[in-house]
Chains A and B, each alone.
Chain A
Amino acid sequence: MKIPEQPVPHGHLTTHVLAFVHLLRSAGIKVSTEQTLDLVRALEHVPIMSRGDFRAAACCTLIYRREDLPVFDAAFEFYWRTGSGLDPLIMALPVVRTPPKLLRLPRRPRQQGNGPDQERSEEEREEKVGLTLTFTAAETLRTRDFGSFSFEEVQACKQFLRNLEWRIEPRRTRRRRPAARPGVIDMRRLLRRNLRHGGDPVELAFREPRQRQRPLVVLCDISGSMDRYSRILLQFVHTISNGLRNVEAFVFGTRLTRITRLLRERDIDEAIAAVSKQVVDWSGGTRIGEAVKNFNYSWSRRVLGKGAVVLLISDGWDRGDPQLLEREMARLQRSTYRLIWLNPLLGNPRYQPLTRGMQAALPHVDDFLPVHNLLSLEQLGEKLAMLGKRRPERRQRLLPATS
């Protein structure tokens, strides 16, 4: 075999492009054939001996999401790290295939050690039929506090949650569609229709605003004090994100983690297992103010458009600075259509929101509702379906400036 003397024969380069694309794909980046062809085409115009230009060309053709940029960088470094750039040895390297997503994740170990969950899960599946509740059992379950649920009852609860129908009062969009009822005149259809009448407007045609579901954003506290509730509340979050379009979900303890993508997993247990694997601060302390601030700074602009409704689920036990919490709650409220605080402790008739955190946050909350049993979830569902056409009135408050 002869080593080619030409700078770079084209066919050879294409092989590299394909191998590199293969590497990107195995790292979990979606690259279409069309994009690969674009890169090959692009290389006709770009000086391939320049590593930087080659990199830029590959980046703008193969990558279309900012999140993928670090993976691209790493893959590029890996592939071309020998410096010569076109070392045939690289081609001999076995490409490590990692599955795009982790399929089977270990379940979260239960709090009271009733033996490992792994073994139980198979039994549970079989038992599911048996767990379908009789009417009376379901009735008592409805009003029982989540905190007192046994493991079996938590399982039974899934069924119930799955049957709940979620609907959020829609928002009128700026887009119009043809309507049968009188509304705004649709000039185009009007003229078309009435041509046969010699252009006199005999038959009218109308348009009306189209309606769209509002985006829903859930921020769920999973710190230690929420321990008794967090698992079942996550199930609740899972069912709404599967039952509605346009739901974004986050959990927080001492830090904020976005779990929207993890909850796309159809199976409730797999989804929650994925969440518990990803989230590092289960059952730790809470800094609600920090978490809300983090949300405001990094996510609010991206997920709070188009009249979003925000559900903040927490018991309000906050170890952080109440001033910070107040300021960030005020900011959060200003950028949402409706800010609803769900507190499991509110189910107790003797509970009073006296913690400093709760006190700081309450003036900036539109609704303060309980979330301690299935009945309260039903009521929440009703609330969301009837939010009203107008944003609740809010009073401007003067907040102390940042220290």
Chain B
Amino acid sequence: MQFATIDDLQQALATHDYVADRPLATAIFLALKLQKPLLLEGEAGVGKTEIAKTLARMQERHLIRLQCYEGLDVNTTIYEWNYTRQMLQIRLIEALGAADTHAALNEIFGPEFLIKRPLLQAIEESWDRPPVLLIDEIDRADEEFEAFLLELLSDWQISIPEIGTIRAGQPPTVIITSNRTREIHDALKRRCLFHWIDYPSLEKEQRIVSMRVPGASERLSRQVVAFVQELRKLDLFKLPGVAETLDWATALATLDARELTASMVEDTLGAILKYQDDIARMRGQGVRSLLEKVQG
């Protein structure tokens, strides 16, 4: 699917339940047009990963997700040889007594013994229908992986010593997310378009909640959002993201809540606050005074 204007894209995102403000829509639009990776940074739970999922759904493309962690290497991201199959093949060659054992043995490093990992998959599929490649939480990976990604993102090719170089047809749409638990190297950042996603405004968050949690009553979702917005103004160790707002609204809707009450909030506080200190601080007076603000 091609989008002629930023409006089209924003509209399409909205019909797929993603509320994007204009600057974010512009960044995504340009990432698609210029075929550059889009690096999204922001606090946890502001909808970074969701963008990749929505883009894939919207364009009816395959989503290939690479969850980053320390020690990510070629074997887990690009390809691995299928050792079990290789060993069985060796036994088979021995048992059958091939004419040219040497050549037969070399064949075990052929494409059919290759296990394709996400990045290789993305490159191979790009000839047919470029997928959406999500490199999630890159700050969790180590610098070695970053250096390696840098190479991939600039050339879009991968070389496997035993097979040769595999090139991408059309570069896939790449979304990279980071929670900033570590600074990403500038060299990698410069290859990407960059967008910082902030916590949403009251209006935006209300639209998100009513879109995503249709089960919650209008009144309830308005109160939930107002409460969370107030909560974000406080000095807490971990502020709730949009993901938490959605979880909480869903939880309250499941409990058939029509509106927020102090006891209801206290019972479900664990859906929005994830640190004991923060919860202890809000219990009682904290919740009551916020509720007053929200209802008043």
Contacts and interface: CB of A to CB of B under 8 A. Distances in A.
Given A173-B71, A174-B69, A187-B83, A46 B196 contact: no
A199 interface: yes
A322 to B, nearest CB: 17
Nearest to A297: B237
A188 B94 contact: no
A195 B237 contact: no
Q: Is the interface of A mostly helix, strand, loop or mixed?
A: helix
B194 A60 contact: yes
A53 B29 CA distance: 11
Interface in A40-66: 41-42, 45-47, 52-53, 55-57, 59-61, 63-66
A173 B186 contact: no
Interface stretch (A275-283, A299-307, A372-380): A299-307
A296 interface: yes
Given A173-B71, A174-B69, A302-B181, A60 B106 contact: no
Contacts of A42: 30, 33-34
Contacts of A327: 277
Interface in A326-340: 327, 331
B120 to A, nearest CB: 15
Contact of B70 (A47, A66, A173, A195): A173
B182 A302 contact: yes
Contacts of A305: 181-182
Contacts of B75: 188
Interface string B175-192: 000011111001001101
Q: Is the interface of B mostly helix, strand, loop or mixed?
A: helix
Contacts of B281: 401-402
Given A45-B33, A305-B181, A60 B195 contact: yes
Nearest to A215: B182
A52 B7 CA distance: 13
Given A34-B190, A64-B189, A191-B81, A46 B87 contact: no
B63 interface: no
Interface string B25-48: 011011001101011010000000
A76 B192 CA distance: 21
A402 B280 contact: yes
A175 interface: yes
A198 interface: yes
Contact of A53 (B6, B87, B194): B6
B81 A35 contact: no
B280 A66 contact: no
A198 B90 contact: yes
Given A52-B22, A53-B22, 7 more contacts: A59-B195, A60-B193, A175-B71, A191-B83, A191-B86, A331-B237, A402-B277
Interface of A: 30, 32, 34-35, 38, 41-42, 45-47, 52-53, 55-57, 59-61, 63-66, 69, 173-176, 187-188, 191-192, 195, 198-199, 296-297, 301-302, 305-306, 327, 331, 401-402
The 8 tightest CB contacts between A and B, nearest first, are A174-B71, A199-B90, A56-B26, A64-B189, A56-B23, A401-B280, A60-B27, A175-B71
